[in-house]
Structure 1
Amino acid sequence: MSTFFRFFPAFSLILACAFGVRAEPRYTSALIEPINSFHNHGSCIVELPNGDLLASWYKGHGEKGDDSVKIVGARLRKGEEKWSEVFDMADFEGFPDCNSALVVDKEKKLWMFWPLLVANRWETAILMARISTDYNTPGAPNWTWQTPILLKPGDVFAEDVAAAVEEFKKTLPKELVEAYGDELAKLKEEAADKYTRRMGWMPRSKATVLDSGRILMPLYSDGFSFGLVAISDDHGKTWTASRPIISLGGVQPSIVPRSDGSLVAYLRDNGPPPKRVIYSESTDGGMSWSMGKDSELLDSGAGVEGLRLANGHILVIHNDAEKGRHTMAIHLSDDDGKTWKWMRHAERWEPDKGAAAYPSFTLASDGSIIACYTYTNKTDNPGETIKYIRFNEEWIMEGDK
C-alpha cells in the first residue's frame, strides 16, 4: 500500500481543518488476482478492525446453473501492497453459492451473508449467514457459527404488494399496464402465498449497521423483482423482514443513512425504460419504504452501491449507461443525494472491449474510499477478475482527465 494511504489522510485532514486546504487527489488500483478464465462476480469488501481489507466474491464457470460455484476471498494486510492468495470462504458442495455480503457489527463480529441455491433458480435461494470473531490472522476467517436466516413476510407484505399493483395500474401508461398485466396479477397471487413470499431473498450489497446497532441486510427477489430488508436489533440473534421496497423492477438495494436520520436505498433498474438508478426512502429505521422512483442517474440494469462519508457526503457507484456494462461512474453529492455535483469514471471501455460491474464500497479508517468490482477484459488478455481501487473525495471532484 502506498505511503499516501498510510499517512496522508490524517495529515491532510489536519491541514484542511487548520487552513482550509483541500487534499490532493489520490488514486491507486490493483487486480486482486490475475485475470483468469473463471467467472468472478458479486464481490464485497470490508475493512476489519485491525486495518486489513477482506474481499469476497463467487467463482466458478457460471452462476445459478453451475453447481461448482463457491465463495472465495482474499486479504490485503494493513500496510502491504499485494493481496493474498485466494482462499475459500463458503462452499456447499453440489449447490451454487452466489453473491456474498460482508459487514462488521457493533460487537466486532464479522458477518458474511450469501444465497444458497437449492434448485439452480434464484427463486430457490436460502439466505445463509456465517459469523467469525477470529479473523485477524492470514487467510480465511475462522467461522465459528453458521445458520440460515428464514424470514416471514406477513400479511402486510401481501397488502403492500396488492396496493402497489393497483397504483401501477392507475399511474403507468396504458401500454405498459397491458404489457405487464399478467406479471402484475402474478405478483399479487405470489405475495399472498406464504411459500413464495418467504423463499428466494438474496443479498447483493453490503449490510448497513446503524448507530443504534441495528443491522440492515438489504435483500431482493428475482421472482418479485423488488427488495426488502432483513433487520436485527439484537446483534443477529433474531431477524425480522421489513415491508417491501417496491418499484417497477428495482432490485438489489443498497442502503445509505442520511444526515436527518432517514435512510435512502439505491436500486438496480431491472424494469422498463428509461433505465435509471431507482431510489426509495425510509423514515422509520428501515421498517417501511416509499414507492421507488427514478433518479437522474443512468443504470443499465446492473448492480449499484451507495456509501456515506464521514463528512455526510454520499457516493453512488453504478454503470452509467442505459445499455451495457462498459462504463462505470462514481457520483458524489453534498446534499444527501438531492443533486450530484461531481462525477468521475472508475472504468470506461469501448462496448466490445471490456466491462466492469457489481461494485462494492467501504470507507477505510484512514478516510480513504475503497471499492471493488468485477473486471472483464475482452481484448489482449481475455478473462475476468476482481479489481480493487482506493481513492479520496478530491479524486472524484477532479473529474475525468
Structure 2
Amino acid sequence: MIRMFSVVGLLFVASAAGAAEPEFSSELIFPLNPRHNHAPGVAELADGSLFVTWYRGSGERKADDVEVLGARRPAGSTTWSEEFPIADTPGFPDCNTCLMVDARGRLWVFWPVILANTWESCLTRFQVADQPVGTGAPNWSRSDFILLKPADFGERGRAELDGLVAKLPIPPTGQLKGAIDDARVKLGDKLYQRLGWQPRCKPTVLPSGRILLPLYSDTFSISLMAISDDEGQTWHASEPLLGFGAIQPAVVRRNDGTLVAYMRENGPLNKIRVCESADEGETWGPVGTIDLPNPGSGLDAVRLQSGAWLLVYNDLVEGRRSLAVSLSDDEGKTWSHTRHLERQESGQYHYPAIIQAKDGRVHVVYSYFVEGGKSMKHAQFNEAWVRAGK
C-alpha cells in the first residue's frame, strides 16, 4: 500500500509539473558591490523563507579580511533583507559557503578557513542553528571543524598520476615535471592527505540518514566525501574520487541507490567530470566525463520531486558568461532540455547553488560579476520553464 501510494504520488507530481505554465523571475540579492562577493549557498527554512550565504572581502585566499555574510527572503516576499554577518575568523580568510537544513530543521553552514593564504592550507568549519527561522543572523548552537583522516591513498594516487603522465605526447620537463614530482611526494604525506579539504556544493542526505558533504582538494585537484552517520556529530572520509582535475562535486541519487557525482573540470578536457558510487559514498569508481562542456567552473545539481534531474553549469569551454540549466528524465543518461539563466557578451555568472523548495519551485543563487561590481543573483523558476527549452 505504501509503495503504491508513493508511485501514485510521484505520478501526480510529474503530471502537475508537466501541466504547469512556465514561471521565471530573478533579482539581485544586494546592489552591486565593489568588493569581491562570491560562492553562495542557499537553503529553504521550515517557514518557507530562503536563507543565502556568500563570502565578501578584498580578495579570496590571500586577503585576510574575507568574511561570510548572509541574507534572508521571507516566504511570499520578493525582497531580500540587508546582509548580516555569519562568520569571520579574525586574521584569516573565510571562503566558499554551502548550506543544509537537516531532518530536525536545523540550519548548517559549511565553509573553509584559510590558514596560510593558500587553498592547500584550509580547514573546513561549520556552524549549526537549532532555531534558524527569524530575522538577521541566527543564534549558533554549535561550531566546529571537520577533521578527516583519509585512508592512505598515496599508492593509488601515484598510479593514477603515472597513468596520466604516460598519455602525454612527450615526457614532461621543466615546471610541469617539477609539479608532477612534487605531487608524487605529497600524495603519500599525511599532512597533505588530511589538510586542504574544502566544501563548495551542498550536502546530500541519503534515505538511510547518512550525510555526504562533498569536499575537494586544490593540493591534488581531487575530491572526496565527508560522511556522517550520526546527524553530523562525527565525520569520516570516503575514499577519494581519483580523477586529477575533477573537483567540487555535486551528488545526486538514482532510484537504484547509485550515487552520481558531477564535478568541475579543472584540467584540459573541457567537459563536466562524473563518478559513481554503489555503497552510499564510501568508495567511488573511475572518474570520467559527460558530453556537456565546462570551462573550469563550479556547477550544482538537484533531483526534483518529479524524479527529473537538474544540472546548472557554465555551458562553454572558455569563460563564464553563459549559465545554463539542463534537465534529464533518465537519471543523467541524456540532458533533453536546456534554458539559460544568463547568456551575455561579457561578465561572469558562476558558482551556482540550486535547491527545490517544498512548493516545487527551483531556486538558484549564483555569483554575478559585471563591470559595475559584484553581487549574488537569485533566480526562481519551475520545472515547466526548463521543459519549455530545447
Corresponding residue for 2:4? none
Corresponding residue for 1:5? none
Post-superposition Cα deviations, 1:205-244, rounded to whole Å, max 9, x if no partner, equal: 1111111111100001111101111000011111100101
From 251, 266, 270, give the equivalent of 1:270.
266
Corresponding residue for 2:100? 103
From 351, 361, 364, give the equivalent of 2:357.
364
From 369, 372, 379, give the equivalent of 1:376.
369
From 374, 377, 385, give the equivalent of 1:395.
385
Any stretches of 5+ residues in structure 2 without a counterpart? Answer: 1-10
**Larger CA deviation: 289-298 vs 200-209:** 289-298
> TM-score scaled to structure 2, two decimals?
0.93
2:88 equivalent to 1:91 = yes
> TM-score scaled to structure 1, two decimals?
0.90
Any stretches of 5+ residues in structure 1 without a counterpart? Answer: 1-12
From 296, 307, 312, give the equivalent of 1:312.
307
Structure-2 change in CA distance of 1:177 and 1:22 (3 Å): farther
Structure-2 change in CA distance of 1:64 and 1:369 (3 Å): same
Contact 2:220 2:244 (C-alpha < 8 Å) held by counterparts:
no
2:271 equivalent to 1:281 = no
**Larger CA deviation: 187-196 vs 85-94:** 187-196
Contact 2:111 2:124 (C-alpha < 8 Å) held by counterparts:
yes
> 1:120 deviation in Å?
0.7
Q: Aligned with 2:170: secondary structure? A: helix
Corresponding residue for 2:170? 175
2:28 equivalent to 1:38 = no
Corresponding residue for 2:118? 121
2:200 equivalent to 1:210 = no
Structure-2 change in CA distance of 1:251 and 1:148 (3 Å): same
Partners of 2:55 and 2:200 in 1: CA distance: 11
Contact 2:113 2:124 (C-alpha < 8 Å) held by counterparts:
yes
* Count of residues in Structure 1 that have an aligned counterpart in Structure 2: 379
Partners of 2:171 and 2:307 in 1: CA distance: 38
From 137, 142, 157, give the equivalent of 2:139.
142
* Letter of the structure 1 residue corresponding to residue 20 of structure 2: A
> 1:110 deviation in Å?
1.4
> 1:260 deviation in Å?
1.6
Partners of 1:176 and 1:54 in 2: CA distance: 50
Post-superposition Cα deviations, 1:41-78, rounded to whole Å, max 9, x if no partner, equal: 00010111221100000011110111111000000111
> How does 1:322-337 map onto structure 2 within 5 Å?
322-337=317-332
Corresponding residue for 1:291? 286
Contact 1:268 1:304 (C-alpha < 8 Å) held by counterparts:
yes
Q: Aligned with 1:175: secondary structure? A: coil
> How does 1:10-49 map onto structure 2 within 5 Å?
17=15, 22-49=19-46
> 1:137 deviation in Å?
1.0
Contact 1:16 1:23 (C-alpha < 8 Å) held by counterparts:
no
Structure-2 change in CA distance of 1:398 and 1:81 (3 Å): same
Partners of 2:334 and 2:22 in 1: CA distance: 22
Post-superposition Cα deviations, 1:190-210, rounded to whole Å, max 9, x if no partner, equal: 121111111010001111111
* Letter of the structure 1 residue corresponding to residue 145 of structure 2: P
User: % of aligned pairs identical?
Assistant: 43
* Letter of the structure 1 residue corresponding to residue 235 of structure 2: W
Corresponding residue for 2:157? 161
Contact 1:168 1:177 (C-alpha < 8 Å) held by counterparts:
no
Contact 2:223 2:246 (C-alpha < 8 Å) held by counterparts:
yes
> 1:177 deviation in Å?
6.3
Q: Aligned with 1:247: secondary structure? A: coil
